[in-house]
A and B are shown apart, each in its own frame.
Chain A
Amino acid sequence: MDITEYIKLVFTDYTLRTITLGTAILGAVTGMLGSFAVLRKQSLLGDAISHAALPGIAIAFLITGSKDSNTLLIGALISGLIGTFWIRGIVTKTHLKSDTALGLILSLFFGFGMLLLTFIQKQPDANQAGLDKYLFGQAATLVESDVWLMAIVTGLCLIVMLTFWKEFKILLFDADYTKTLGFNTRFIDILITTFIVLAIVLGLQTVGVVLMSAMLLAPAAAARQWTNSLSTMVFLAAIFGAFSGVLGTAISASQDNLSTGPVIVLVAGVFVMFSFIFSPSRGLLFKQIRFIKNRRDLELHKTLAFMHHIAETHEDISHPHTIKLLNNFQGYTRSTLQKLVDKDYVQLDGNMWSLTKTGFEAAANLYTKQSTEDE
């Protein structure tokens, strides 16, 4: 299947269109909210909440007996919120640390959810098939109404975010200061947390419990590498998330037996890797290049200083010396010498070198940090 054919199919085929739209919206909203989770050092909250949502789904089914995804999502939302606030209670009221609290809630809630699910399966007249799609996620089960729900929640989330933008931002970077300014930090905090939980719950059906945490983190972690501004980061994360969704869906649709959720997560992972390596200011590649460049500069400076040291002992600073003199010196290489010549600090004449006037001055100023020309 070539690309044009695929794009045509996205517009004509109902299932493919729904899934593509759904995963794109989901990626955008998790990317957006994930930025807040990452910056608040709550990265693993997503993992904990997505597990904690399971008993809610089971209980909602037990109570209503319906498999309507909206009902189940409300159950998931409630138990996700209970889990989140219990985590907070453990962290603030006891000396257990946040990782212990997260792991506890995650495994205990999930185990309880499993108990309920197996209990439901044993009920004689239960029409429970399909509940387990929340465990591993099945993008294929998305229908148009799910996409509408996602779109509405995303819109709501956008409105709230724009309204409380200033508060969110200040809370992220200095919570104590926010409090002294008179903002109701608890309200803002609950608002952010609720929306994060909401986004996670929305994603359960599409990518499943385990992979949801990656959807929350990966786009945000990738976006973080490209910018230091919160608004740009949120925007980029939304874009990365949406692209992961669309590309992941496309790749999994083009092959048999390729589940959508894991592919989306891997695509998001590729975004992260790419950002880690190639981001201009923080990326590993450019960091390494800068490191090498700095070392070269240092070697250049060392050579120049050494030459200056020799030249000082002569009355004529441009008195030629033999290159052999430099051989014992560590910073010296053919290429550093050539660089000095290029900068017009040194003149070469056969096997002899001599410092120029500018070179001498630059070297004299090296350690007084006054020279900026040699940069």
Chain B
Amino acid sequence: MSNAQLEIQLIASLVAVACAIPGTFLVLRKMAMISDAISHSILPGIVVGFFITQDLNSPLLILLAALTGIITVVLVEYIQKTGLVKEDTAIGLVFPALFSIGVILIAKNANDVHLDVDAVLLGELAFAPFDRLLIAGTDVGPKSLWVVGTILLITLTLLILFFKELKVSTFDKGLAASLGFSPAIIHYGLMSVASVTTVGSFDAVGAILVVALMIAPAAAAYLLTTDLKKMLALAISFGIFSAIFGYWVAHWLDASIAGSITTVLGLVFLLVYLFAPSKGIIAVMYREKQQRTEVSLLTFLLHLKNHDEIEERHVNHLREHINWQKVRAKTVLDLAQKNNMIHIEKNIVSLTTKGDEFTSKAIDYIMTNEDAQIEDMKADFFLFRG
């Protein structure tokens, strides 16, 4: 592994961490799309800053672009407050307009500027090690490493200093306000961090990867835990893993690093989405199926309790009576038998004492609909779950 490769992976990992932290809060605050909006609307800020300084890594440029990001947030909120359109429409109106202004500014001055939209949006991590920071003639590493490192340091400091405030204002705005820390300040603080992070990372990895690094790790982490600290830690690990693994995929395919990191992020999310223990798709579908079976079982038991007639309780009759498909009927029948709720004699089904008691309780619950009772029942009712 060459020095440049190491540096690229280091930069990518630092960007991933710097993005995952504000990203987690954006996802929790239901403002994920604002990161996409910021990543596009900072373009005019970058262009104007570039015209002034002629240097893509100048702090002024980062400042101007971050300012444009905050202007975006303010504009979106202003439009939303007028009540003329909903929030998502406001976002969708603001950022393409600002982006258009940026594109036009570049196009009108394209002759003497080596700044093009592709570079801004897509970035090229592979070139990052070539742009070195020289202090008094000594090479101290790639510029973007320093830029991203500084931003990450600031983000981490702010996170540790204001963790409690962030936590409370994210989950309960009213409580935060009554405890005396202004939700507005936290909100704009978070937006500023998101904005600065986007700007600082765009040159290295491009706008789209910034958005992916902000949202995807946090979303995957959110499917695995609801504990804020664990979620932050998970999001950071997913980010770093994708950054490093994505780099090697790009190396192997000889393709865009940003593109392959995003693709790895996508695969990580897909895996979590499918297999997360309690909130993954498979778990959710399994649970839904189980609940359907449980409801069917209850219907079945109620039917038995209501009918003493032999012909109503014949195995074959039940199927057409309750209108189940063959497979489902068999599942329910087996389940009830396994739990000693029923016994079958010459194809005639009847309730056991246990089944009878249970059904009475269930009817009681349905009639009174008191939550306390179901809590009691759950223990005996859903035995067969585990």
* Residues in A lying within 8 Å of B, measured CB to CB: 38, 41-44, 46-47, 51, 89-90, 93-97, 99-100, 102-104, 106-119, 122, 132, 135-136, 210-211, 213-214, 216-218, 221, 224-225, 257-259, 261-263, 265-266, 269, 272, 276, 282, 284
Contact = CB atoms under 8 A, between A and B. Distances in A.
A94 B32 contact: no
5 contacts: A41-B88, A44-B33, A100-B30, A213-B92, A276-B84
B259 A102 contact: no
A272 B211 contact: no
Contacts of B85: 38, 43, 221, 224
Given A112-B266, A118-B255, A210-B40, A284 B82 contact: yes
Interface in B11-43: 27, 30-33, 35-36, 40
B96 interface: yes
> Which of A47, A136, A261: most chain B Cβ within 10 A?
A47
B93 A47 contact: no
A186 B214 CA distance: 32
Q: When A and B form their complex, which 9 residue pairs have the shortest distance between CB atoms, in order from nearest?
A: A111-B262, A115-B259, A214-B96, A262-B100, A107-B212, A114-B259, A108-B266, A118-B256, A103-B32
B33 A99 contact: yes
B298 to A, nearest CB: 25
Interface of B: 27, 30-33, 35-36, 40, 79, 82, 84-86, 88-89, 91-93, 96-97, 99-101, 103-104, 107-108, 110, 117-118, 121-122, 208-209, 211-212, 214-216, 218-219, 222-223, 250, 253-256, 258-263, 265-266, 269, 273, 279, 281, 284-285
Contact of A99 (B31, B96, B108, B121): B31
Contacts of A259: 103-104, 107
A211 B86 contact: no
Contacts of B216: 104, 107-108
A107 B96 contact: no
Contacts of A43: 85-86, 88-89, 91-92
B211 A103 contact: yes
B139 to A, nearest CB: 29
Contact of B100 (A225, A263, A272): A263
B145 to A, nearest CB: 22
Nearest to B103: A262
Contacts of A97: 30, 32
Contacts of B255: 115-116, 118-119, 122
Given A103-B33, A103-B211, A96 B253 contact: no
Contact of A108 (B79, B117, B269): B269
Contacts of A214: 92-93, 96-97, 100
Contacts of B99: 210-211, 262
Given A115-B255, A284-B82, A257 B107 contact: yes
Contacts of B253: 115, 119
Given A38-B85, A221-B85, A262 B104 contact: yes
A97 B216 CA distance: 13
B209 A272 contact: no
